[in-house]
């Protein structure tokens, strides 16, 4: 079993696992910033409240990175996760819909941070085109979508339009050659295989909280 297995021979890694990898990365970045050189799975498990075996399993997907009896080297593991997550180079992102949400996302730290760059906002509204977000992300015309994607080497799109427009936008994005899309519109999109879609449904999150409160009221906890 060669250590430092390359990512290309990884077996399918679940969505849940990759989400946790991001969490680990954030933790490691913090640990590195405070000068910690080594960390054990048990220690990380404490920090979030996770199970240490799960952390070891997650990390072991990519080869053996720890040292028995010692733990993991913080910097080395961090660098490795950065590479595995594919954010060791900058990826260009566009946001479709320059409304409230689109504008807010465009200026959001963490969207314009290591690994990602918002290249443009895109809208159909002539009144918005030519303007820019607070931090200076330009609003470009939807009609130019294909050209923008090509010329700016865009890899990821964020859908921040109304529910009614989302399916058309999704189809156009696929047509424009994008393979990764993050959707904020509250609709069930008819998806295209091969194109990775993640959806964030704000409304559902609120309803889930409401459901919880209802349970408390009814005494079901």
Partner DNA sequence: GCATGTGAATGGATTCACAGCT
Partner DNA sequence: AGCTGTGAATCCATTCACATGC
Q: Under the rule (CB under 7 A), what is the footprint of DNA?
A: 1, 14-17, 39-42, 50-54, 56-57, 59-60, 64-72
CB of 50 to DNA, least distance (A): 6
220 binds its own copies (CB under 8 A): yes
How far is it between the farthest Cα atoms of the chain? 63
- Region class of 199: left (phi > 0), else alpha (psi between -120 and 50), else beta: beta
Half-sphere exposure of 33 (CA within 13 A, CB side): 6
In the sheet that holds 196-199, the strands lie side by side as 139-141, 116-123, 91-96, 154-159, 180-183, 196-199
Pair of tokens at residue 103 = 């504008």
77 or 178: CB nearest DNA? 77
**84 touches, from its own copies, DNA, none (C-beta below 5 to 8 Å by class):** its own copies
**65 touches, from DNA, its own copies, none (C-beta below 5 to 8 Å by class):** DNA
CB of 71 to its own copies, least distance (A): 19
61 or 132: CB nearest DNA? 61
Q: 140 to 199, contacts with its own copies by CB under 8 A?
A: 155-156, 162, 179-182, 186, 188, 196, 198
Question: 3-state class of 7 per DSSP?
Answer: helix
């Amino acid at each position: 079993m060669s250590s430092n297995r390359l990512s290309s021979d990884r077996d399918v890694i679940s969505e849940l696992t990759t989400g946790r990898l991001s969490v680990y990365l954030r933790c490691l970045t913090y640990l590195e910033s405070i000068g910690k050189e080594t960390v054990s799975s048990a220690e990380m498990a404490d920090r979030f409240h996770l199970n240490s075996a799960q952390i070891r399993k997650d990390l072991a997907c990519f080869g053996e990175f720890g040292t028995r009896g010692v733990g993991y080297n913080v910097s080395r593991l961090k660098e490795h996760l950065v590479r595995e997550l594919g954010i060791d180079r900058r990826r260009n992102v566009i946001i479709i819909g320059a409304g409230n949400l689109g504008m807010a996302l465009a200026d959001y730290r963490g969207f314009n941070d290591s690994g990602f760059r918002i290249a443009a906002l895109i809208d159909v509204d002539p009144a918005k085109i030519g303007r820019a977000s607070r931090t200076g992300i330009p609003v470009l015309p939807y009609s130019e979508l294909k050209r923008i994607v090509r010329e700016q080497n865009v890899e990821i799109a964020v859908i921040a339009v109304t529910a009614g427009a989302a399916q058309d936008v999704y189809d156009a994005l696929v047509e424009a050659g994008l393979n990764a899309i993050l959707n904020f519109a509250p609709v069930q999109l008819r998806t295209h295989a091969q194109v990775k879609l993640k959806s964030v449904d704000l409304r559902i999150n609120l309803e889930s909280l409401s459901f919880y409160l209802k349970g408390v009221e009814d005494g079901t906890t």
